């Protein structure tokens, strides 16, 4: 049980203090209770928590995001990344008049019915067969498989959805060539390219797809843009986002708390602080951590995946089931050594971290990996 957090530290109900590299599943880009983010949220709260009218903070947040992501003209807020993905799929289907959606196998895009399909049989429980039939999965970075999917379902694909570094697919970076192939296939067939940057936005100032030289038709965001409060967003070109225009018979989309001023104020403060220099600094710390950790774990048959401010230690030559078990052992070993990771042992850095803290994290996790590897 978590009791409190401050900066890059979290304290559990036994009074045990850990360095937090879980950061609420990558959302807390500035760690816990950052004073500027906290004050912004508190200040907004004093003027009312939520209104049945749009509010000025929503406009300010949208303006900031559009200044940053120059290729988007409009943005729609939701309460979670899951909702934003649902909306992205519905917009793509409406704009194209088609139903098919291509995902990368094993990638996680939230827990709507369609988003659960690429997760495999276990994730699909309770998902109707019709939803599964509208979904195509391709292996990450397999351009041949992607091209074959378009050929096979000629004229039926509404969208390709790509997470730039899908954790559940192994925290592997999507290659620029794969992005470019997806862009070209979408252009040729009229399908939309959706970049799901609910996590990936932290990797690059103007978004991860853009950093690969590709402009998506729609971008899904969440996590860091809410400054630690619940959030999601869908943004895109005006002609695509026109499907949502309430003045022109737009699609049904609501959310009692979507765009609420507290989330918008916290998000604005967080995103202002996470400027180009902050992104560069945090990515540099990520590089440092991966390099130090790699130096410790390689001799024990493990390697380190990730990029930017994300990392994940991986055992070599194990089956997926053995890997899952090894990650569970590692999670506890890291906890025992004072580091909180995500359950899949993904780590995400936060801006309060320094080089000394990152080196300390690498040493502690390295030691946890060595203990895990020798436990068999």
Ligand X SMILES: Cc1ncc(COP(=O)(O)O)c(C=O)c1O
User: Would the CA dihedral through 301, 22, 305, 283 be positive or negative?
Assistant: negative
Q: Any idea of the CA torsion for 62, 67, 71, 73, to the nearest 10 degrees?
A: 40
The answer to whether 179 contacts ligand X (rule: CB under 6 A) is no
* Residues in region 226-255 near ligand X by CB under 6 A: 232
Q: How far apart are CA 9 and CA 175, in angstroms?
A: 34
* Binding residues with ligand X: total (CB under 6 A): 14
| Residue 119 or 261 with smaller CB distance to ligand X | 119
The answer to whether 204 contacts ligand X (rule: CB under 6 A) is no
The answer to whether 198 contacts ligand X (rule: CB under 6 A) is yes
Q: How far is the CB of 110 from ligand X (least distance, A)?
A: 3
Q: Which residue from 57, 54, 112 is spatially nearest to 81, judged by alpha carbons?
A: 112
Site string for ligand X, 10-39 (x = CB under 6 A): ---------------x--------------
| Residue 7 or 81 with smaller CB distance to ligand X | 81
Binding segment (CB under 6 A) for ligand X, from list 1-9, 29-37, 103-111, 122-130: 103-111
The answer to whether 267 contacts ligand X (rule: CB under 6 A) is no
- Known active-site residue 108: yes
Residue among 77, 99, 108, 274 flagged as catalytic: 108
Q: How far is the CB of 79 from ligand X (least distance, A)?
A: 8
The answer to whether 178 contacts ligand X (rule: CB under 6 A) is no
- Known active-site residue 223: yes
Q: How far is the CB of 107 from ligand X (least distance, A)?
A: 7
Tokens for 350, please give them.
């936060």
Q: How far apart are CA 192 and CA 182, in angstroms?
A: 9
| Residue 229 or 292 with smaller CB distance to ligand X | 229
Site string for ligand X, 60-89 (x = CB under 6 A): --------------------xxx--x----
Residue 75 pairs in a beta bridge with 235
The answer to whether 342 contacts ligand X (rule: CB under 6 A) is no
Instruction: List the one residue from 174, 192, 199, 235 that touches ligand X (CB under 6 A).
Output: 199
Q: Which residue from 71, 67, 157, 80 is spatially nearest to 112, judged by alpha carbons?
A: 80
- Known active-site residue 106: no
Q: How far is the CB of 116 from ligand X (least distance, A)?
A: 11
Instruction: List the one residue from 108, 150, 302, 314 that touches ligand X (CB under 6 A).
Output: 108
Site string for ligand X, 310-339 (x = CB under 6 A): ------------------------------
What does the binding site for ligand X look like in residue numbers (CB under 6 A)?
Answer: 25, 80-82, 85, 108-110, 163, 196, 198-199, 222, 232
Residues annotated as catalytic are 108, 196, 223
């Amino acid at each position: 049980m978590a009791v409190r957090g401050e900066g890059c530290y979290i304290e559990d109900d036994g009074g045990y203090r850990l360095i937090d590299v879980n950061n609420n599943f990558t959302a807390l880009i500035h760690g816990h209770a950052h004073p500027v983010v906290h004050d912004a949220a508190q200040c907004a709260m004093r003027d009312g928590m939520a209104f049945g009218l749009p509010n000025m903070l929503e406009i300010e947040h949208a303006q900031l995001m559009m200044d940053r992501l120059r290729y988007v003209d409009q943005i729609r807020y939701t309460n979670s990344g899951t909702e934003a993905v649902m909306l992205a799929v519905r917009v793509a289907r409406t704009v194209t008049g088609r139903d098919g959606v291509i995902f990368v196998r094993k990638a996680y895009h939230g827990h709507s019915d369609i988003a659960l399909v690429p997760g495999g049989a276990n994730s699909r429980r309770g998902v109707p067969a019709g939803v599964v039939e509208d979904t195509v999965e391709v292996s990450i970075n397999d351009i041949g498989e992607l091209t074959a999917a378009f050929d096979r379902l000629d004229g039926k694909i509404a969208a390709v959805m790509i997470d730039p570094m899908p954790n559940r697919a192994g925290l592997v970076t999507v290659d620029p060539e794969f992005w470019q192939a997806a862009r070209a296939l979408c252009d040729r067939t009229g399908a939309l390219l959706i970049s799901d940057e609910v996590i990936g936005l932290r990797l690059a100032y103007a978004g991860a797809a853009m950093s690969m030289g590709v402009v998506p038709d729609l971008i899904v965001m969440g996590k860091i843009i809410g400054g630690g409060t619940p959030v999601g967003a869908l943004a895109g070109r005006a002609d695509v986002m026109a499907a949502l225009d309430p003045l022109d018979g737009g699609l049904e989309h609501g959310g009692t708390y979507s765009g609420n001023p507290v989330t918008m104020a916290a998000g604005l403060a967080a995103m202002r602080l996470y400027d180009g220099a902050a992104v560069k600094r945090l990515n540099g710390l990520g590089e440092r951590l991966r390099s130090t950790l790699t130096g410790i774990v390689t001799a024990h048959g493990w390697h380190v995946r990730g990029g930017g401010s994300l990392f994940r230690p991986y055992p070599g030559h194990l089956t997926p089931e053995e890997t899952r078990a090894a990650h569970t052992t590692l999670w506890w070993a890291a906890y025992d050594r004072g580091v909180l990771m995500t359950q899949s042992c993904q780590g995400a850095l936060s801006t309060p971290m320094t080089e000394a803290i990152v080196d300390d994290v690498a040493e502690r996790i390295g030691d946890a990996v060595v203990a895990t590897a020798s436990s068999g």
